[in-house]
Structure 1
């Protein structure tokens, strides 16, 4: 297994208290595999990604029983050693292509700096590598782009630059934090194609963070559904999307707009009432309790059991399993 994470927890300072942003997360990603993390804004997806990169905000505390990338125990490495790993063996495409690049340096300056920092290459070799990577992500006239500043590029072009930067040193693992959210549908499709091609050619592991289930259906091998800092359901893409079990997963899928045929405007768009709560106290009960229309008496008093199903799905919920799943357990 390329990436192994066990019992990952992140707490943040918040008005004199500790906010439990990530609670007890387990993740496994193999080489060449794509794991999609899905959920509403505020569920802890980006914080999980930052924890894996160990780029957490000031005052944040990380704890994990295991945090391993290949042969490396990431939790035991010093900051100096971690800085040599980030961008080299594990890379991240950050949210918001409009702001993720440094506005006072040219595209070429930023790409060359990454390559030289991790490989010790000459300026000429770094220049050639940067142009090669820009061309590989679909930028025409790459030599000209190298001399431009981020504000001179569109959002789609900036996203391509960020992908090129993340791939400069051919990492084993790449984390993509909603890299297509601000892009139009055509550009989104192009970006997804570039990422998938890069993954296949390099046999990279990939964690893809998104709230777009259409993207999940297109690229995921495994899906993990996060809510309030926890994973409430996980499993193979087809199993989770076709036969969701947790009420939150069902709510997310029901919220996706569907074509209405000859009678547009006749169907109501489903929604999940309420908001993601902020957890300042560690609570073993189901985090979806306050918003779940199917809650039971046990939900108020006991932690939800974690059940492994023959389909490969794992769900954390008190509700009875579907008949076919219950019979096969």
Structure 2
């Protein structure tokens, strides 16, 4: 048999430990390219005049048609998630670059700030300037920007006061004119204002703080603000929160506390809502707008995956972004994909499967 090219004489598997060599079947070798292929030798033998070529033909057929043994690539052990009823396997590559500080293991309180716009400023003084925010027309005037800043201030105060809290700013790249996400812009404003909570790390120098604040940069509406922030808490800390505090508009309290919380089956006694409305906006008009455009649509489409609410999500995703939570938090994969009923009705069925935050029975 003709020799194989040097480059194909052995293979190194990078999917497992370096240096592992795959065994190669004769079937593979015969199909491997060489200066003259092994398959061409067989064809040449078949073309020789009988009967002198018969022994060679038979030998080639035996070798060529020999059953091919199965060879499996080395498997890398998947890393299971802690804190679930059973280990859930996820691709090992998801966690290759993740090295959580041990100080994060003690965090159990999610403090969530839902985003409403994108701040484009570069200094604290520009935080209250509408010209440095990418706003919808209805968000201009009426003290909306001042309310955004007050949400950041209040949430930061809560997180700094509780050493077990993680502050999460949530909101995707919802504006076509934006080069960043809502969440990133809120975090940047909080950072420039020296508001972010931190904790010293036992594994690092006392002068190297561990940030107890992060972003969730995929949510496109209020329901996803809550659901995705739970998943982001799990990504960042390695565990699920024990309690949740949401800081947002007072007019959206019922939407979050009654509808979104119930849709996720989050326990009411571990949920708190801090409401702050704009000072300069007509409260009655704002409440009526929330009722018509937020509360009622979600009451009829609890998971926001049909009709007008789905259309809003699509309009707020101009850059076609996708979240990572199917891979990083597979425990809630079925919940992330839950969309009850069809557009003709039956859109309020509560997700029935197990959840990591279920109360022990």
* TM-score (normalizing by structure 2): 0.23
* TM-score (normalizing by structure 1): 0.25
Q: Tell me which protein shows more helix as a share of its residues.
A: 2
- Structure 1 or 2, whichever has the larger Rg, is 2
Higher RCO structure (Cα 8 Å, ≥6 apart): 1
